[in-house]
Amino acid sequence: MTETIEMPLWLLLLILGFAIVAALDKVMLPSVRWFFRRRLERAVARLNQQLTRPIQPFKLMRRHDMMQRIIFDPEVGRAVQAHAHQHGIPEAVASETARKYAREIVPSFSAFAYFSFAIRAARLISNALFRVRLSYADADALRAIPEDTTVVFVMNHRSNMDYVLVTYLAADQSALSYAVGEWARVWPLSRLIRAMGAYFIRRKSRSDLYRKVLSCYVRHATEAGVTQAIFPEGGLSLTGGMGPPKLGLLKYMIDAAEESGRDVVFVPVAINYDRVLEDTILTAAASRNERRFRARIGVIFAWVLKQIWQRILGRFRRFGFAAVSFGEPVSLGSFKARSDRDLTIPLARDLSRRIGSLVPVLPVPLAAWLMQKHGEMTLEDVVAEFRRIIPALAGGPAILPDEDIATEAKDALEQLVDRRMLKFDGGRYRVSGDRVDLLAYYACSVADRLEAGPLDSATAEENAASARS
């Protein structure tokens, strides 16, 4: 027992290494994790006092625990058995497939990453690129949403900038859990997006097992009261206008509400830009009639460097306005009381209609719509149309006050000329014919709202007076 033994130095170092790892794993690391977990819980408790919608415990659950809850859900278990029987494979293999789907979908939310990094970065990027405007159809109704309901922001999808912009503008509401597409599964972007609480979905998966795992996650999140944000169109708009709504996520949320008895409140949100950063990519995809976006990373990186260099030289100009309008909340319970049939399709249509009626009418889209309609106009003609249309729109005077209309109309026309959508000749602006698709893309974003017809003069005056006050 007390005899001296000899061993090679490498073996001694190996034994010591294993001993240190074991000590860390069994003694020190649990204590360290507990210490930081306690600090995080206290920080989240302080943060929840400042948020309109507190962060729910389900969102703060460890990713592994969240995955286990989904994998061992009875509905997923039955789907695993059906998948194994359908494909003639062992249940263990089907169960591993379900685990892979859960690993792909489930986020790993970090309150530190979201509130210390993401929101600050979103604020910096949004204000660096755009003049941001925010409007509410009924701010009091938003504040009056009961705490025991699940809030879902339902938005049109104009740009990947939507995630950044709404994250920044909803920072005082809650931590949003986005449904993001397959584009975001690229490393290292996927790690950051998961840390921000987003969950990944395959837009075109036909697997019943995959859809069951996804629906199970959405059901648990909805029942737990997690504040979510979805794009009912499913993907970016290729035309500039709103596309038909996809029903999958909406159906999962309705089913979860019916099972749990928890009310879900949908908040329509409309987004628009004077400049969509991916506009040429989207219009090119539309011309090919496909949804594959061929944006090379080198081109994107060069564009970012160009903007940074222009800012260093003092030549950078922001891309006009970016505006977000929050509509009146729609309670699922109240909506259900008015209908005795399946709610998915009528609710999707109602939300799409509400979003369409909220789309901010900004200077560049309005100028594009006017030029597409008239073919050629003088600056005075465009300013006169701006003065006629904007005060008649709900929320219009708040985004573009009357005293700024002439300046912003001229700037909008100059942007369209700079991008070769218009040409200026003999004191008149004309459609150039070079980038007709791009002009139509911006005009389409506001066409439905403008072609619905102007409000009466009394309503226009009331809107203008409300904006001034």
Angle at 409 between CA 406 and CA 414, to 5 degrees: 125
Q: Please state at what angle helix 208-223 crosses helix 91-105, rounded to 10 degrees.
A: 50
Position 2 pLDDT exceeds 90: no
pLDDT: is 311 or 447 the higher one? 447
CATH of range 363-468; options 1.50.10, 1.20.144, 1.10.10, 1.10.3210: 1.10.10
The distance from CA 368 to its chain's CA centroid, rounded to whole angstroms, is 26
Superfamily (CATH H level) for 104-275+296-358: Glycerol-3-phosphate (1)-acyltransferase (3.40.1130.10)
* DSSP H/E element including 402: none
| Torsion 374-375-379-382 (CA) sign | positive
The answer, yes or no, to whether the previous bond of 54 is cis (omega within 30 of 0) is no
Note the pLDDT tens digit of each residue in 219-253.
Answer: 999 999 999 999 988 888 889 998 888 888 999 99
Structure tokens at 25: 């794993």
Give the 3-state secondary structure of residue 178.
Answer: strand
Predicted confidence (pLDDT) at residue 343 exceeds the cutoff of 70: yes
Q: Where residue 323 falls among pLDDT bands split at 50, 70, 90? A: very high
In this predicted structure, the answer to whether residue 459 has a pLDDT above a threshold of 70 is no
Domains in the chain: boundaries: 104-275+296-358, 363-468
371 pLDDT higher than 70: yes
CA-to-CA dists, residue 252 to 44, 190, 248, 264, 447, angstroms: 29, 24, 6, 12, 32
pLDDT at position 164 is: 85
Count the helices and strands in the chain (H runs, E runs).
23, 11
